Amino acid sequence: MSFRTSYKPFKAFTCALFCAFQLTPTPAPASPAPKAKAVQPPLLQGQFPKFDPRSTKFELNAQESINFEILSPKSSWNKTYSIGRAAWTEGDYRRAFNAFKIALIKAKAAGYNDGRVKQTQEALDSVQGLADKLDARLGMRFDKKRIPGLFARVEKVFPGSLSWLAGVKADDRIISLKQSNNLYQLQIKRDGRFLSIFITDTTKVTMPNFTALSPASAPLDSTNRLIGAQITNVSLLHANEKLLTNHDLVLFIDKSSSMNSPFEGTGLSQWDWCKTSAHDLFSVSAYFPLGITVVMFDSNYEVLKGRTARDIEGIFQHYGPSGGTDLAKPFWEQLSEYFNRRSDKSRPMIFAVISDFGTSGEQIREGVYEAARRVRTAQELTISLLEVGKGGGLLVQTLDTDLVNVGARFDIVDATSSEDLAKIGLKNALIAGLLKRQPKTAAP
């Protein structure tokens, strides 16, 4: 069956692929036990009047309350505790536990008599048991109401979780759930269809080891972590530049209004940094003799085919940030075109997305997941997510590391954080993504 270029039919086709097999409902196992009660962690205001007010202010903006953004190891105790409390209130207990764990490490750096230590320890103790429950481990929340014939109804799926990545949705009916070690098999009914979803969870709820950790190196696990470290050895990347040879490149450039935001540490906006860094691609023009496909997207999108690397600087001069963000449609369209024309003689493909990923990480989840299920080798398609800014690191990291845990054949995503991108540039970030996927080490 070939891919279609229209978005809705292709999405329907994906949903059909996602339905692994039809099930005959069997008597439902016992419903999950009601959630344990826990004392809600207190607000920060007024807790410690002797402290600097700036350290006790409830710092949580709207974006963080929605996405529970990644915590930097350099974040203050105040911010980590605030995000933990917001996640606790939302019912995302696994992420709340990890935020409180980091906050406790930071608080204890001030001394065991510091009032924040007791408050954070109580919050951590309150959420620890809830964080290890089944729905918390999978990254969703079950409806407390018991429904005859069902294991549970999914009330909410938390962005960036394994369930989110596997395509579980709110209001899904879980007919049955089987566990074998770290593997979970969910049989789900959605809109009259039956789906089979497999999830592998290797994370554990463990208390912090204060003898091995410092506040500056607080651990970030699969539910609360930074984008993984990129290869930043410029000499190594330069030695492997020829990996770009015989590839096709589709470059998605976010030009939504959020790209006007500052790019931390550069003194430039995210858009202006991309504009000044475009010359970094000049030296790779020869590797793409058929030209580069450039997709400019905000609320709408424009596809520019057959462009050279030198054209990209002019494109940045011509366009400017404005509007909202809709990456889903152009991303699906380009995937459709690629898989529709794919043959044994096709050149390997690179999809590179330059964005702050405020919403675009969520928008491409289904496309990335479907592509990872359809590729024949790990080298056939590389999706490079190049972060400028701090819009959606959690979702980007999940796409980068957990695809195989939800049934994908290969890990085809490589993410570069804004810090590493500023160090190595656009060209080297593309090379790093290819270098990681080589069967054997390339040039030393």
Domain ranges of the chain: 7-30+135-200, 53-132+205-217, 234-435
Query: How far apart, in whole angstroms, are the C-alpha atoms of residue 345 and residue 327?
Result: 29
- Give which of 233, 29, 238, 248 is closest to 134, Cα–Cα: 29
Coil, strand, or helix at residue 326? coil
Coil, strand, or helix at residue 293? strand
Coil, strand, or helix at residue 360? helix
Q: What's residue 75's pLDDT?
A: 53
Query: How far apart, in whole angstroms, are the C-alpha atoms of residue 220 and residue 203?
Result: 11
Q: What's residue 108's pLDDT?
A: 73
Query: How far apart, in whole angstroms, are the C-alpha atoms of residue 5 and residue 340?
Result: 9
Coil, strand, or helix at residue 108? helix
Fold held by 234-435: Rossmann fold (3.40.50)
* Sequence-ordered list of residues with C-beta below 8 angstroms from that of 381, at least 6 positions apart, any chain: 338, 348, 349, 350, 351, 371, 375, 412
In this structure, are residues 209 and 221 in contact, taking their beta carbons and an 8 Å threshold? no
Q: What's residue 52's pLDDT?
A: 31
Question: pTM (2 decimals)?
Answer: 0.62
Query: How far apart, in whole angstroms, are the C-alpha atoms of residue 355 and residue 201?
Result: 29
Query: How far apart, in whole angstroms, are the C-alpha atoms of residue 232 and residue 308?
Result: 26
- In the chain, which stretches have pLDDT less than 70? 1-75, 109-112, 204-229, 360-361, 390-394, 440-444
Q: What's residue 440's pLDDT?
A: 55
Query: How far apart, in whole angstroms, are the C-alpha atoms of residue 283 and residue 288?
Result: 11
Looking at domain 7-30+135-200, which of 3.30.420.40, 3.30.1550.10, 3.40.50.300, 2.30.42.10 is its CATH number?
2.30.42.10
In this structure, are residues 340 and 2 in contact, taking their beta carbons and an 8 Å threshold? yes
Two tokens, residue 219: 């651990």
Query: How far apart, in whole angstroms, are the C-alpha atoms of residue 85 and residue 344?
Result: 52
Element (H, E) at 236: helix 234-239
- Give which of 14, 403, 439, 59 is closest to 243, Cα–Cα: 439
Q: What's residue 213's pLDDT?
A: 37
CA dist list (Å): 240 to 9, 187, 431, 441: 40, 45, 7, 10
Q: What's residue 254's pLDDT?
A: 92
- Give which of 223, 2, 198 is closest to 131, Cα–Cα: 223
Query: How far apart, in whole angstroms, are the C-alpha atoms of residue 171 and residue 153?
Result: 6
Helix orientation angle between 328-341 and 365-374, rounded to the nearest 10 degrees = 10
* Sequence-ordered list of residues with C-beta below 8 angstroms from that of 434, at least 6 positions apart, any chain: 240, 243, 244, 247, 350, 379, 382
